[in-house]
Amino acid sequence: MGYGAMQLSGPQIFGPPKDVAAALAVLREAVDSGVNHIDTSDFYGPHITNQIIRQALHPYPKDLTIVTKISARRGDDGSWIPALSPEELTQAVHDNLRNLGLEVLDIVNLRSMFSIHGPAEGSIEAPLTVLANLQRQGLVRHIGLSNVTPTQIAEGRRICEIVCAQNLYNVAHRADDTLIDDLARDGIAYVPFFPLGGFTPLQSSVLDDAAAALHTTPMVVALAWLLQRSPNMLLIPGTSSVAHLRENLSAASLRLPQEILLKLNQIGLN
């Protein structure tokens, strides 16, 4: 159970947060609660989220893994602009290193930018080769992929070792069911982003009923379902609230009964 830092910057993931002290408190509470995996990117803010992480946690605990992603930059208006040239990718790695205060990045995810709405086919060989070269230079320990298709993951694995894949997936959006099982067999972590629906929060009477029966919230049930979905599932729910963080983390100790699991399994298949 990790933590996604995207919500620590301002509205639309741009600019500073309204309350920097609250952002610092969330990060410190997460690590104090046992979270040892933080997902971030230097294009959150831009730069601001990583600077807040550094302010809150540096020097970092030895067991903390910080995962970032590259392939985009932000316009002055907050727009998302593909940044996939060798120079831009190299600069992105150095920006992450500088703003996080690190000499080497634990994991860097290359995010496919063929479509901002979801995975779309297209070769990732050129940008991934640049990232693999930066890994050989000792700036990156491990490489992952984000917003990608099974074909792109297969292409990536021919170029370098891929340790994780990060795509949209939750109890109601199940397009990656087969991919998750395939990656689990190969020991590759699957990291679902928007595990609670993202900008359109999950709503389901099945989730509501399960939450009432288990005396918890629908969102905790949705996270617990993901944790029981597959052994390679690594969650990174994000929040800017300590109270919400604690609620999210409670999913790690919730075991869903089989009859509830069966009902939840049907949500994304309808």
- Enumerate the active-site residues: 44
Instruction: Enumerate residues 6+ apart whose C-beta is below 8 A from 185.
Output: none
Instruction: Enumerate residues 6+ apart whose C-beta is below 8 A from 151.
Output: 121
- For residue 270 the two structure tokens come to 């309808």
* Closest C-alpha to 53, from 89, 96, 111: 96
* Closest C-alpha to 41, from 6, 14, 89, 86: 6
Q: Are strands 3-4 and 37-39 parallel, antiparallel or unpaired?
A: parallel
* Closest C-alpha to 24, from 59, 50, 52: 52
